[in-house]
A and B are shown apart, each in its own frame.
Chain A
Amino acid sequence: MASSIFKKVLSETNEFERTPVPASELKSGNSFLGMYAGEHTAGTEFVIGPLFVAHGVAAGDLIFGLLIGNLLAVFSWALITAPIATSKRLTLYYQLERIVGKRLVAGYNLVNALMFCFLAGSMIAVSATAVGIPFGLEMPTLTDWMPRTSGWVITVILMGAVITLVAIQGYSYVARFANLMAPWMILIFIGAGLIGLSQLGVNSWESLLAISNEVIWTGIPLEGMSKFTIWHIIFFAWFCNMAMHIGMSDLTILRYARSWKYGFLSFAGMYIGHFFAWIASGILYAVFLQSNSASTSFAPGEIAFQTAGIAGAVCVIVAGWTTANPTIYRAGLALQGIFPKTHTWKITAIVGGITSLAACFPALVMKLLDFVALYGLLLMPMGAVIFADFYFSKRFGFQAEQALTNKSNFSLPAFVAWVLTLVICLGLNQFYGIEVFFLGLPGWFIAVFIFIGLSKFYYSSVKLKLA
């Protein structure tokens, strides 16, 4: 029954998986505006804002860092992703297949699926921190890696099972539910932030500045946490969605855009979502710390419940759920690409199982910043390959879409660019102490250069002409 429902849903729509989106199917800017705003006001926001507070970022560093970092992210979508998306109008996966070959795309899908599983797992854990409130569940702490209690494990597994069942049965309904919740969630974030400020005693511009610097974003990290500077904030805000912009995942979205300029509509996600939501959730955590100075727990559900009551706790559940569900679905589809003969519902069930197990480990929440940065870094080189293929193949004299041109399933230049870039980034981290948040920028250039160099050697345009 599940697979027949799924087939019915698919058969009703043409997704242009292997063809360019025709002009008749292009979408208006409003679609992207709403989508970006909703997508980036999610469960992750309930974790990221508080983690910034825990990492002791100063108030000025936070505000200016977010303004700059989010702007760089918008420019990345608009100037790097969108022009290619509106020119080619292909999905990321098909565009990648044409350049790097099916075998490498399978590897990409595997990595992507695994990262999706962990991300979904962290969101299940976020929701569990709210679900567990009426049951007096012991919440994880900032330094926890392992689950503390069997109650936590049971709660997370049960939630994961329910979310997986829903993902198998009715993804389209969940997608509509997520769209429905988005306007309400955005208001909850903003409203909770205002409540938090009032709880901290803010009643004037002067008190806002004072409390921001002395109570909320003090510049002093909590015990056991590293210190974040403005550069951490800039690069995190810029690269937290690296997989989507310079990693080119959003080719699949922006291929429906009438103009490349729609890439600028990502500002709705960056400034309504990330900017306000991260500030608001940081305020909530500061309120929690003020009232629970002896507590070491880090639980978005508890934090939101304390300030915004039941509405806050439900928002955390909904935010985690509406992020976890499509993510499990995406992971399932990514794996389906590798195992096309396996029923989608079986793949989704396996993914859900992996996700639920992963969610048992609080480290996924506590290390979310590092995980998100790593996620983007792992996938970014393939985005760099797409960029280099699009802009530099003619200029530097190598074959565009080399896998397609040579009827090959595997591109060595792309593979080496991917692996070597990550090895070099690991080296920069291990031997030069460059944190994962900052590796995306040099990594992108490294990937582009390696790909261009090897493509010129293996797939020179001259060789094609002579062949």
Chain B
Amino acid sequence: MKAILKIISLIGLLLTMIPPVLIFMGSIDLEETKSLMTLGMVAWFGSAPFWINRRTEDGRQKSEVGS
């Protein structure tokens, strides 16, 4: 299940990055780009939270206690 979610997340990121490259190359139009990026956003939002479980290691969050 996690593997499937990771694939969906990767697709989400690809749909975020590839359409802008394609419009820059003149292969697709603006509306198609926006639609694909919206799809990519949904894919990322809908899948990434379920497998990205890393605890915040960086001092930024932990440091707030000492702030």
Contacts and interface: CB of A to CB of B under 8 A. Distances in A.
B26 A27 contact: no
A175 interface: yes
Nearest to A90: B66
A112 to B, nearest CB: 8
A198 B66 contact: no
Interface residues of A, number: 55
> Would you call the interface of chain B mostly helix, strand, loop, or mixed?
helix
Interface string B9-47: 000110011011101101000100111011011001100
Given A34-B58, A171-B64, A255-B59, A311 B41 contact: yes
Most buried by A among B35, B49, B66: B66
B32 to A, nearest CB: 10
Given A17-B66, A180-B49, A191-B19, A309 B26 contact: no
Contacts of B49: 177, 180
A35 B54 CA distance: 12
A252 B48 CA distance: 29
Given A91-B66, A195-B33, A188 B16 contact: yes
B52 interface: yes
A39 B20 CA distance: 24
Contacts of A175: 56, 61
Identify which of B40, B41, B54 gathers the most chain A CB atoms within 10 Å of its CB: B41
Contacts of B35: 309
A378 interface: no
A93 B66 CA distance: 7
A187 B17 contact: yes
A179 interface: yes
A326 B59 CA distance: 13
A180 B38 CA distance: 17
B36 to A, nearest CB: 9
A31 B41 contact: no
B1 to A, nearest CB: 18
Interface in A182-196: 183-184, 187-188, 190-195
Interface stretch (A44-52, A218-226, A329-337, A455-463): A329-337
Nearest to B35: A309
Given A15-B65, A171-B64, A309-B35, A184 B23 contact: no
Contact of B56 (A172, A188, A202): A172
A254 interface: yes
A256 interface: yes
Given A310-B38, A334-B67, A195 B60 contact: no
Contacts of B38: 309-311
Contact of A192 (B20, B44, B62, B63): B20
B38 to A, nearest CB: 5
A290 interface: no
B29 to A, nearest CB: 10
Contact of A330 (B23, B34, B62, B64): B64
Interface of B: 12-13, 16-17, 19-21, 23-24, 26, 30, 33-35, 37-38, 40-41, 44-45, 48-49, 52, 54, 56-67
18 contacts: A13-B62, A39-B60, A176-B52, A176-B56, A179-B56, A180-B48, A183-B13, A184-B48, A187-B13, A187-B17, A190-B17, A191-B20, A194-B23, A195-B30, A252-B67, A253-B63, A256-B59, A326-B60
Interface of A: 10, 13, 15-17, 27, 31-32, 34-35, 39, 91-94, 112, 171-172, 175-177, 179-180, 183-184, 187-188, 190-195, 197-199, 202-203, 252-256, 308-312, 314, 326, 329-330, 333-334, 337
Given A252-B59, A309-B35, 9 more contacts: A15-B62, A17-B65, A175-B61, A184-B12, A187-B13, A190-B20, A254-B59, A311-B37, A333-B66
